[in-house]
Amino acid sequence: MKRVYRYIVMLLTTVILLSAAVPAALASGTSTEGSKKVIILGTSAEFPPYEFHKTINGKDEIVGFDIEIAKAIAKDMGAELQIQDMGFDSLLAALQSKRIDLIISGMTPTEERRKSIDFSDPYYRATQSIVVRKEDQDKFKTMKDLENAKIGVQKGSIQEEIGQGIPGSKLTSIDKIPDIIMQLQTDRVDAAIMEDTVAKAYIDDEIVFAPAVPDDAVSDAAIGIRKGDTELLNSVNQTLARLKSEGKIDQMVQDASNLSAGKMKEKSSNIFSVFWEYRSYYAKGVGYTLLLSALSVFFGFIIGLIICLFRMSNVSVLRWLASAYVEILRGTPMLVQLMIIHYGIALSTGINFTPIESGIITLSINSSAYLAEIFRAGVQGVEKGQMEAARSLGMNRGTAMRHIILPQALKAVLPAIGNEFVTIIKESSIVSVIGMAEIMYQASVVKNITYMSFSPFLIAAALYFIMTFILSKLLGVWERKLRASDHR
């Protein structure tokens, strides 16, 4: 048992060190100094030239004319700008839950959206377009030709509304523009609807504009602001009026378009060169994945053990609560649990967890439900005579459980516990949907920068495999050491 305790202390020490060191080493964005006001911008940075990732001086930065407008707004307010990158369909929830102060992401101020948030004066007018494969260009000369076609659109966008108005259309709604282009390239959709300003970044010898033009072709872009925040709304409108009068927005659009056009399509690059060039992105992702997994493993282990003891308690209320906990968490998808913890709690209680906090809580409680059942199986697998012998020696039930039953149970179920730990590392990828910069998030960033749809995710798969393989081997060593006494 001393050896077991030593391993637990080592694990706890590692968790504490990771908690302290990794965020400091990998923290992105700016810090608040003194009492300086901070403006938090929410955006979906895969929308060139509005906003997109770009490697500048070896560092990943979010750039685009939306970002330049946001910088001007912050400067006029004497505030510091912080940027949060997330899925487009998560922006409204993030604004309503006060995680961000404003949305600048080429968002069209539709009447439906105005029910939830306020909008600034329009700052840019774009034209909707139809994008197709070159060989299909002549098939879609009018919008009528798109009837009954498979169409790719961005989830929660004005393009999705346009697609819904096409008779018989089969929509594929996806969160990110590069993934829509990938659907088009792989023949999963016949056409895609997107703004011409954005589509130009993806037009090449294979992807082209179709002659068809949507009926509601022209759309405005405006800045989303939380309802009732009139002070911020007035400040934003004042800055937009100044930028328009000075002709700076047109210049920002041109500069961002030129920067976007400079993004190289490295289709000829091999996977090793891609990994080496963007190694800093993946290193950051590995750091956050390890932090998420280590903390989730630790807390999941503790919570799972407590739930297991509750399920085996003589108190009926504790047994009922533990059973309900296990059944609810095992019976609902982890993505739903993540959305409830990250957005639902914020909207209902005002408690805002950071993405990493939401990720740790979700992974911990989800894993604890499975670990509780694993522990229960291990405890029930120990012969009842062990407890009776311990009680006959004068031990109470708690002491016997701690010193006699649990050590044997944990040793018996160690392989199953190891499998759950490996699962946590892989399932940590789900946290990327709320903007957590772990491996999958970084792979998406690299994909958006390079326009390569395969290599970035193959690299991510290799990194996940390396981490889980090493963990499996370490758990195997630990298991053999714990079982060494069985052969004495």
Question: Rounded to an integer, what distance in angstroms lies between the CA atom of residue 86 and that of residue 45?
Answer: 8
Question: Rounded to an integer, what distance in angstroms lies between the CA atom of residue 207 and that of residue 94?
Answer: 33
Q: Could you write out the DSSP letters of every residue in 87-137? A: -GGGHHHHHHTTS-SEE-SS----HHHHTTSEE----EEEEEEEEEEGGGG
Give the per-residue pLDDT at 25. Answer: 41
Short-list 188, 185, 145, 142, CA closest to 167 = 145
| Alpha-carbon distances of 192 from 130, 133, 145, rounded to whole Å | 6, 10, 13
pLDDT (mean) for 375-396 = 74
Which two tokens mark 199? 């589509």
Give the per-residue pLDDT at 8. Answer: 47
Give the per-residue pLDDT at 317. Answer: 92
Amino acid identity of 205? D
**pLDDT band, residue 268 (cuts 50/70/90):** very low
Short-list 187, 185, 186, 193, CA closest to 169 = 193
Pairing mode, if any, of strands 124-133 and 191-195? antiparallel
Question: Rounded to an integer, what distance in angstroms lies between the CA atom of residue 351 and that of residue 438?
Answer: 23
The pLDDT of residue 365 is above 90: yes
Q: What is the value of pTM for the model shown?
A: 0.68
Question: Rounded to an integer, what distance in angstroms lies between the CA atom of residue 278 and that of residue 81?
Answer: 26
Give the per-residue pLDDT at 483. Answer: 66
Give the per-residue pLDDT at 13. Answer: 47
The answer to whether residues 19 and 295 touch, using CB atoms and an 8 Å cutoff, is yes
What domains appear along the chain, each with residue ranges and CATH number?
2-24+273-487 (1.10.3720.10), 36-122+222-263 (3.40.190.10), 124-219 (3.40.190.10)
CA 262 remoteness from chain centre: 27
Question: Would you mind telling me the total number of residues written for the chain in this entry?
Answer: 488
Question: Rounded to an integer, what distance in angstroms lies between the CA atom of residue 325 and that of residue 303?
Answer: 11
Residue 189 is given by DSSP the state: -
The listed range with the strongest mean pLDDT (251-255, 268-272, 274-278, 359-363) is 359-363
- Which is more confident, 249 or 60? 249
Question: Rounded to an integer, what distance in angstroms lies between the CA atom of residue 264 and that of residue 449?
Answer: 8
Amino acid identity of 77? M
Q: What percent of the chain shows pLDDT beyond 90?
A: 37
CA 89 remoteness from chain centre: 12
Query: Tens of pLDDT along 328-340?
Result: 999 999 999 999 9
**pLDDT band, residue 117 (cuts 50/70/90):** very high
How many CB atoms sit inside 10 A of residue 411's CB? 16
- Which is more confident, 69 or 482? 69
Pairing mode, if any, of strands 150-154 and 191-195? parallel
**pLDDT band, residue 103 (cuts 50/70/90):** very high
The listed range with the strongest mean pLDDT (177-186, 329-338, 385-394, 479-488) is 329-338
What is the CA angle 61-62-65, rounded to 5? 135
Residues 6+ apart with CB under 8 A from 287: 22, 25, 26
Question: Rounded to an integer, what distance in angstroms lies between the CA atom of residue 398 and that of residue 392?
Answer: 14
Short-list 364, 372, 356, CA closest to 416 = 372
Query: Tens of pLDDT along 270-301?
Result: 788 888 888 888 999 999 999 998 899 889 98
The answer to whether residues 151 and 170 touch, using CB atoms and an 8 Å cutoff, is yes
Short-list 175, 179, 216, CA closest to 88 = 175
Strand order in the sheet with 51-56: 46-47, 51-56, 59-63
Which two tokens mark 365? 């409680």
Amino acid identity of 154? Q
The pLDDT of residue 21 is above 50: no
Give the per-residue pLDDT at 24. Answer: 39
